[in-house]
Amino acid sequence: MTVLYVREPDGIRRFLRCHLCTKAERPPDAKLFWFCDTCMRRVLDAVQQRAPIPGIIVFRTYNVECRCTHADADTVLAGEGQFHVDEVYGVCERCIHDEIERRRVA
């Protein structure tokens, strides 16, 4: 499958547009969230401050299937909150930090 990188009138490539701020591009190899680097740092801050931001929910859960593999019931998680889904999934501070570092090194 070929991905076409069509640019919108504002210069942002449509396929790479950040799903959170919609004002920047995400890396093509984004893993956790399809967010730009700035928004990924905002998500990390939200988890650390335990305060949601528009488009991101911050929560804890007892449901193992709704959290990353190294989180437990007391771990604060972040998940996308702008879409209405039947199942919420969240990742912890460590996952977000690892993704930011992976992007920085790549």
- Which tens digits make up the pLDDT trace of 2-39? 777 899 999 999 999 999 999 999 999 999 899 999 99
Those residues with Cβ within 8 angstroms of residue 60's Cβ, 6 or more apart along the chain or in another chain = 73, 74, 75, 76, 77
Question: How far, rounded to the nearest angstrom, does the alpha carbon of residue 80 sit from its chain's CA centroid?
Answer: 7
| Alpha helices, DSSP H, located in 28-92 | 37-49
47: exposed, middle or buried (Cβ count in 10 Å: 0-12, 13-18, 19+): buried
Q: Is the Cβ–Cβ distance between 31 and 10 less than 8 Å?
A: no
- Taking only the tens place, the pLDDT of each residue in 55-103 is 999 999 999 999 999 999 999 999 987 655 677 899 999 999 999 999 9
Confidence at residue 4, expressed as pLDDT on a 0 to 100 scale: 78
